Amino acid sequence: MKKILLIPFLLLMLSINSSAQSIENPSVENSDSPSSRIVKIETTPNFTIVSFEETAANNSSWVRLSKDIFVQTNLSDKHYHYIKSENIAIAPEKTIIGNAGDKLLFKVYFERIPSTAGTIDVIEKAGAKSFFNFYNVSLTQSQKVLKTSVVLIPPPPSNINFNNEMAGVMGSMGPMLTTMTTAMMDAQVKYYKQPGIITEIAKLNKQYFDALVNEGFTQDQALKIITSESLLPKASMNGK
């Protein structure tokens, strides 16, 4: 009789474990929030829970969260909406962090995402800097800790022109800088191709235009402001 009761219990536990996922310090391709990072993602039978760490930039730093924040997976354009949060104020309220360098840990609960998702985007306000926007967050790979080594460069001999040496060093850095710039532009193109991103940006620009008109600008003036002073950073794509 005990064996008969044990089998359904084991099956239940296996089912629960298969529906729960967890990753610490997940790899993130791009972020609009330089002072924060994602420290953990948990997918439970009821929620997808994202844990954040916010670092105070100065002694008067504060933080807050918009309920418009959502999660989107690599599987579709569907938005998995905010459910609740812990240890952070909801806009327009603010949470004061403290002194510069102090850290605040908080959690945000979203609707549960599919277990087959490989990456997610966490989007509070698409394309807007200093908001909790994280793109291509891996559900399978953690951040790699980069190890750096110190290379000692001896002083140039006294019979060599130091300025010429420096010019040679700077010249050799040219190909490396070109490679880095190309990689950054490729990452921007990949970001804008993600499902739903263009739509979110279009909505943001439409809201900006409507707000300018409501404040008394003509439609022509509002259009000039949007094109010359966009809310989103202008990227130089070199013809791409």
Instruction: Report DSSP letters for 130-170, one per residue.
Output: TS--EEEEEEEEEPPPPP------PPPPTTS-HHHHHHHHH
Per the domain annotation, does 10 fall within a domain? Answer: no
Domain boundary among 96, 127, 142: 142
Q: Are residues 55 and 135 in the same domain?
A: yes
Domain boundary among 117, 142, 167: 142
Q: Which residue has the higher pLDDT, 152 or 183?
A: 183
Per the domain annotation, does 180 fall within a domain? Answer: no
CA dihedral 215, 209, 234, 118 (to 10 degrees): 120
> What is the predicted pLDDT for the residue at 154?
54
Residue 238 scores a pLDDT above 70: no
Number of domains in the chain: 2
Q: Report percent pLDDT > 90 for the chain.
A: 46
Q: Are residues 138 and 221 in the same domain?
A: no
Instruction: Locate the DSSP E strands across 26-182.
Output: 26-31, 36-43, 47-55, 61-63, 70-73, 79-86, 95-98, 103-111, 119-123, 134-142
Q: Are residues 24 and 131 in the same domain?
A: yes
Q: Are residues 24 and 121 in the same domain?
A: yes
Average pLDDT over every residue of 91-104: 92
Q: Are residues 28 and 135 in the same domain?
A: yes
Per the domain annotation, does 75 fall within a domain? Answer: yes
- Domain of residue 67, CATH code: 2.60.40
Q: How confident is the model at residue 146 (pLDDT cuts 50, 70, 90)?
A: very low
Per the domain annotation, does 11 fall within a domain? Answer: no
Residue 52 neighbours by CB under 8 Å, 6+ apart: 36, 37, 38, 39, 88, 105, 106, 107, 108, 132
Residue 231's domain spans which residues?
196-240
Q: Are residues 203 and 138 in the same domain?
A: no
Per the domain annotation, does 187 fall within a domain? Answer: no
Q: Are residues 203 and 110 in the same domain?
A: no
Per the domain annotation, does 165 fall within a domain? Answer: no
Q: Are residues 30 and 137 in the same domain?
A: yes
Per the domain annotation, does 115 fall within a domain? Answer: yes
Q: Which residue has the higher pLDDT, 221 or 55?
A: 55
Is the pTM higher than 0.75? The answer reads no
Domain boundary among 116, 142, 168: 142
Per the domain annotation, does 45 fall within a domain? Answer: yes
Average pLDDT over every residue of 2-15: 50
Chain segment 164-191, per-residue pLDDT in tens = 666 665 666 667 777 777 777 777 777 7
Q: Are residues 131 and 228 in the same domain?
A: no
Q: Are residues 40 and 124 in the same domain?
A: yes
CA distance 164 to 160: 8
Q: How confident is the model at residue 114 (pLDDT cuts 50, 70, 90)?
A: very high
Q: Are residues 206 and 132 in the same domain?
A: no
The number of angstroms, rounded, from the C-alpha of 84 to the middle of its chain's C-alpha atoms is: 19
For residues 225 and 217, is the Cβ–Cβ distance under 8 A?
Answer: yes
CA distance 78 to 70: 10
Q: Are residues 44 and 126 in the same domain?
A: yes
